[in-house]
């Protein structure tokens, strides 16, 4: 299937509606019925502000986060329209990809 790899970048200390922004985006993707989302932490990084964000032994609040989604063009359009309506700024990368499944697939949990 053709679609997009969308990666959002934020950090652990950013909150939206009482949640960590990364968790909020993953929850939104699930509510929208998207194929999946992965929230990953990074050790260190910097953005347009040139400020270094990193995980420290005692303080993880500034730790960089990535939210990755492999989604169809229609799903991407719906997601971006929904995020545009929110009151935050979020840097992203969106690149065309091909995705699918290989090998024998296990039955869906509700099909058993």
Long-range contacts formed by 43-46: CB under 8 A, 24+ apart: 45/9
Banded model confidence at residue 64, pLDDT cuts 50, 70, 90: confident
Task: Give the residue extent of every domain in the chain.
Answer: 2-99
SS3 helix, strand, coil % of the chain, rounded to 5? 25, 35, 40
* Predicted pLDDT at 42: 73
pLDDT at 50 over 70: no
**With pLDDT > 90 as the criterion, what percentage of the chain qualifies?**
62
Name the pLDDT band for 59 (thresholds 50, 70, 90): low
Region 52-81: mean pLDDT is 80
Tell me the average pLDDT across 16-40: 95
Note the maximum CA span of the chain.
51
* Per CATH, domain 2-99 is 1.10.238.10: no
What pLDDT does residue 12 have? 84
Q: How far is CA 62 from CA 15, 84, 90, 109, in A?
A: 12, 24, 15, 37
Q: pLDDT tier at 44 (50, 70, 90 boundaries)? A: low
């Amino acid at each position: 299937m053709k679609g997009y790899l969308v990666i959002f970048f934020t950090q652990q200390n950013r909150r939206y509606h009482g949640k960590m922004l990364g968790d909020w985006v993953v929850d939104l993707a699930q509510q929208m019925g998207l194929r999946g989302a992965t929230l990953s932490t990074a050790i260190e990084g910097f953005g347009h502000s040139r400020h270094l964000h990193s995980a420290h032994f005692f303080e993880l609040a500034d730790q960089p986060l990535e939210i990755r989604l492999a989604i169809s063009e229609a799903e991407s359009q719906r997601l971006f329209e929904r995020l545009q309506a929110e009151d935050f700024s979020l840097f992203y990368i969106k690149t065309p990809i091909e995705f699918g499944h290989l090998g024998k697939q296990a039955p869906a949990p509700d099909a058993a």
